[in-house]
A and B are shown apart, each in its own frame.
Chain A
Amino acid sequence: MAGAYATFNHITDYMGFEGLLSDEEKMVREAARDFVNKEVLPIIEKHAQDQTFPAHLIKKMGELSFYGPSLPEEYGCAGLSNVAYGLLMYELERGDSGLRSFCSVQGSLVMWPIYAYGSEEQKRYWLPKLAAGEVVGCFGLTEPDFGSNPGGMLTKAVKEPGGKWRINGTKMWITNGTVADVAIVWAQTEDGIRGFLVEKGTPGFSAPETHGKWSLRASVTSELVLEDVIVDEAKSLLPNVKGLKGPLGCLTQARYGIAWGALGAADASYQCALDYALNRIQFDKPIAAYQLQQEKLAWMVTELTKGQLLVLQLGRLKDAKKFTPAQVSMAKMNNVNVALEICRKARTILGANGILDEYPVMRHMANLESVYTYEGTHDMHTLIIGQEVTGLPAYR
């Protein structure tokens, strides 16, 4: 396959990765790639510059079943394998982390908990609408003072007479918050942490947008403010989970997709840098002919390839229902870290051009700074792996 990865039309495939995919997994990747090439790449730089989310893509992505695609068909989803889902995340983030984040939140953090923890009525009501992109969801766990330690959250839900609950608290760094029709809000109760579906427009509930980001600029980030919000228990409370394992279960799903997605951003930056290095002439030679640039390119393609094989194996384990959250931590930690470093090296290969929005590199790099921290920081995942191999938790 030498040279096959030199164009933007192919996934970077140094180690025969594509040969490990089934026909439908290849088709899913092609379909997502086609969509990103035609619908996302032509518009994404402007959205990132203007700090706007390409909202016109919400329904389109729903029609293509991009939301919660590994959930079952009976709820309006596609029933994909976990590997196919990962490939979708890879291609979406090749477009932009903001777009992938949108789908991660909608699918893994909103649809998945409704599917896993919701009542049958909640599933039948919400999942088909969320799958179609008719409604948008968000996930409220992190708070201003509780990030890596979500168990200490201050948001409280108190049972009221007449089958009602009263919720008070503030959530922060909430992707899709301002545009969401429904929020999954995690709150302390007498029974431990519980999840509630809170609809837009509920009195006392607001979601102001967070401004001034240098990262994920084509994605909406918000606060959620809940002041004496009253919700109906049957409609709102997710009945089938109690405790921190509820939100952590969602995060494991989302982190799995992130481990794939980050490589998409890295692949775009690597291919851009390779192409640039082959065409940029200095001292009468393409800069790709110089050892210093080759060292960067060799490192980039090696880490990208290792990352691909890591998530593929993780996906196969997940499809066989044999994966552990600590394995997901390794994939998220490693792949986001190498993806960020690949983007940084790509930026240096592009020289001054690397900072321009004519190339996707700096946008991807800036996006990955968020991805490095969200969904469990790089450091927390390091400590989870440390605990896994030593049996000793270092973060308590």
Chain B
Amino acid sequence: MKILVALKQVPDTETKVKVAADGRSLDPTDVKWITSPYDEYALEEAIRLKESAQAEVTVVTLGDDKGKDVLRNALALGADNAILLKGDGQGDAFAVASALAAFAKDKGFDLILAGNKGMGGDNSAVGPMLAELLGWAQANVVVKLELSGATFRAEREIEGGSEAVEGSLPAVITAQKGLNEPRYASLKGIMAAKKKTIEEADATGLPAASAWSALTLPPARPEGRKLEGDAASQAKSLFGLLRDEAKVL
């Protein structure tokens, strides 16, 4: 079985993000880049399938040279092959899905795994678009995956319960927190990754269908307020604030 895992490089969740001078993109200065956590679930699932069912795992990302970091990390975790699709990384979800589809088409993959969304961007669009562009079955926001022959059974969390989806391979599955517990890279894995090469290819596919027009940060949190007076009057003003300002009562 051949599995493709699509990875996205995103700013570390601890990074204090700043908007760039153009007002519609992220200022990359001092940003630490990590693999999107949802993609880590996708990769972990692929590596488990490699261990249980002898799958061959290929990882792919789009972008410039710094994208190699997530690929190297994936190789250290156990991926067999890594491909960097070179592009400016400025495309929208459609451009990304179309570049991935152009790459994955005719390569004989049985399964494509990806995060259900890229941390931070939160579009939840690439996986479903990729499945549509390839004409494959899909299941999204998956918390349990079972493969049997040429079919899959995926469980997804829905409002108030869970549902199971069955379909045939090839398929695109997008991972949700809960699918598994990703492993740490072992030092042996890191040394083994050194011996594997990262292939590079130019990204091809369709142009973006949309573009960012503006990016703004939420307003700064107002300073805390101190209630004055005795306990009774403090309780009274707290009640008033919760009812009239916070509107939680």
Contacts and interface: CB of A to CB of B under 8 A. Distances in A.
Contact of B191 (A35, A63, A79, A88): A79
Interface stretch (A42-50, A64-72, A244-252): A64-72
Given A4-B30, A10-B32, A24-B194, A80 B72 contact: no
B187 A80 contact: yes
Interface in A62-101: 63-66, 69, 73, 77-80, 84, 88
Contact of B185 (A1, A27, A80): A27
A27 B72 contact: yes
B187 A31 contact: yes
A264 B144 CA distance: 39
Nearest to A31: B185
B186 A64 contact: yes
A240 interface: no
A7 interface: yes
Contact of A9 (B32, B76, B188): B32
Interface in B1-39: 12, 14, 30, 32
A28 B187 contact: yes
B223 to A, nearest CB: 13
Contacts, number: 54
Interface string B175-211: 0000000001111101101100000000000000000
Contacts of B185: 27, 30-31, 64
A34 B188 CA distance: 16
Which of B32, B76, B185, B194 has most A Cβ within 10 Å?
Answer: B185
A34 B30 contact: no
A295 interface: no
Contact of B186 (A7, A9, A65, A79): A65
Contact of A28 (B14, B30, B32, B190): B190
B73 A78 contact: no
Contact of A69 (B32, B187, B194): B187
A58 B124 CA distance: 39
A24 B188 CA distance: 11
B93 to A, nearest CB: 28
A77 B30 CA distance: 35
A10 B185 CA distance: 18
A9 B188 CA distance: 24
Which 5 A/B pairs are nearest by Cβ-Cβ distance?
A78-B187, A65-B187, A78-B188, A65-B188, A31-B185
Interface of A: 1, 3-4, 7, 9-10, 23-24, 27-28, 30-31, 34-35, 63-66, 69, 73, 77-80, 84, 88
Given A3-B30, A27-B72, A27-B73, 7 more contacts: A4-B30, A23-B72, A34-B184, A73-B191, A78-B187, A79-B188, A79-B191
